[in-house]
Amino acid sequence: MSLYRLLRDNKESGPFTGEELLSSGFKPYDLLWVEGKSAGWRYPGEIAEFKEHVPLTEEQPFDRFYRKPSEENLVELSKEPKKPLTNAGQGRHIHVTLPSGNSVNVTTIVKKKEVQETATSFSEIIGRDASPESLHSPAPVAKTVGGFSWTIIAGLFTGIAALVGLGIMIGLSINRQKNDLAFNQAMSLKSARTEKKVNASPVIPEPIQTQETAPAVSTPVEQKPVEKPMVKNAVVKQKANSSPVTGSEIILPESEFARAMQVVAIPYKVGPFGGLTEVSCTIQNTSDNVLKSVDIELSYYLANDKVFKTETLRFEDIRPSEKATLRAPKSTRGTKIKSKIIAVRYPGNRG
């Protein structure tokens, strides 16, 4: 028994037996595939097993707008040969009497004119009714787009353009009226203010009496040591001057900066279009003595590696092995920061 696969509405199903297919019935343009035998999809009417049950499916024409002509519209023009009209007319006999008394019968046959047949064929009727110019020149065909003629479409576009132009003109006129009204109001306010200024009387300032105040008394502030970690937000913007050794502090030479302390980190954030934010500087005392003050110079660099500004941070009272952090000013420009130690000071009484 053969097994068949059914292709209906571009969906394949099966396999089915022949009895199952006959019981379920077929739809127009169903296709079958005989497993193991077919070389392609075929209509059920093309297979021997279903020829008696399913009529042969008519192929669809290539033109999707094709319409099968109905039998009513088919008019067959039958051209039956017309029988020629035969009229066997009899001739007239003329008898002539001669003067000599001899009678001679002279018979003259006069043929009647043949009846001309009228042209009644379809082509002769068309040729007789239509003029030669109408036969050779076809009738003008109106151009259409989507079932609408070009004339209607052009009229619609013209009407829409006219409405849009009218709306623009109305809007411009309204806007102009508003602008004129605002201008007139502004001019009237300005003229009123000038009139008030002209009519106003001059104001005489009253003398200011000064009161003597007591002189300010400065009170000393005790400095307390800061516990680790030490974070300060104050920024001192000043340059360190190399001054001689005084009794209160000792300035360390530049060659000993690296031995006394080091810069641990300078974190900062760079904006998408440049600019530096959240800038801070952390240093550590690597010596065995207390550092009275340390000056760090921060250089702000542009993208072309040029310095556009510098800031000086001063750290004070840093104990041995202690870290200290100060906040640095942010900048709307710049892409990186570099640091430099410019001064390190010890207390004057260090051991």
> Considering the chain, what is the average pLDDT of its residues?
71
Confidence check: pLDDT of 94 > 70: no
Burial of 4 (0-12, 13-18, 19+ CB in 10 A): buried
- For residues 107 and 253, give the distance between their C-alpha atoms in angstroms, rounded to a whole number: 172
179 belongs to a structural domain:
no
Residue 85 counted as domain residue = no
> What integer pLDDT is reported at residue 315 of this predicted model?
93
Res. 283 pLDDT band, cuts 50 70 90? very high
**Residue 302 has what pLDDT?**
93
For residue 107, being part of any structural domain is answered with no
Residue 170 lies in a domain: no
At 250, the pLDDT band (50, 70, 90 cuts) reads confident
For the entire predicted model, the pTM comes to: 0.32
> DSSP states of 16-83 as a string?
E-HHHHHHH---TT-EEEETTT-SS-B-GGGSGGGTTTSPPPPPPPS-TT--PPPTTT------PPPP
Check whether 333 has a pLDDT greater than 70.
Answer: yes
**Confidence bin at 238 (pLDDT 50/70/90):** very low
Cα–Cα distance for residue pair 281/144, rounded to 1 Å: 81
Residue 217 lies in a domain: no
Give the pLDDT of residue 243: 41
- For residue 311, which of 202, 245, 234 has the smallest C-alpha distance? 234
Query: Is the pLDDT score of 62 beyond 60?
Result: no
Is 45 part of any domain? yes
Three-state SS for 350?
coil
Please give the structure tokens belonging to residue 62.
């290539």
From residue 204, alpha-carbon distances to 165, 194, 201, 210 in Å are: 63, 21, 9, 19
Residue 86 forms part of a structural domain: no
Domain range for 25 is 4-50
Q: Output the pLDDT for position 218.
A: 44
| 100 vs 266, residue with greater confidence | 266
Instruction: Give the tens place of pLDDT for each residue, 179-210.
Output: 777 777 777 777 777 766 656 555 455 555 54
Residues 324-334 have a mean pLDDT of 91
User: How far is the C-alpha of 20 from the C-alpha of 10, rounded, in Å?
Assistant: 20
Total number of domains in the chain: 2
b/e per residue, 46-60, with b = 16+ CB within 10 A? ebeebeeebeebeee
Tell me how far apart the alpha carbons of residues 230 and 223 are, in angstroms, rounded to a whole number.
Answer: 14
How high is the pLDDT of residue 197? 61
Bigger pLDDT: 346 vs 199: 346
Residue 147 forms part of a structural domain: no
Taken in order 7, 11, 15, 17, the sign of the CA dihedral is negative
pLDDT for 253 beyond 70 = yes
The domain spanning residue 296 has which CATH number? 2.60.40
Q: What is the mean pLDDT of residues 98-111?
A: 54
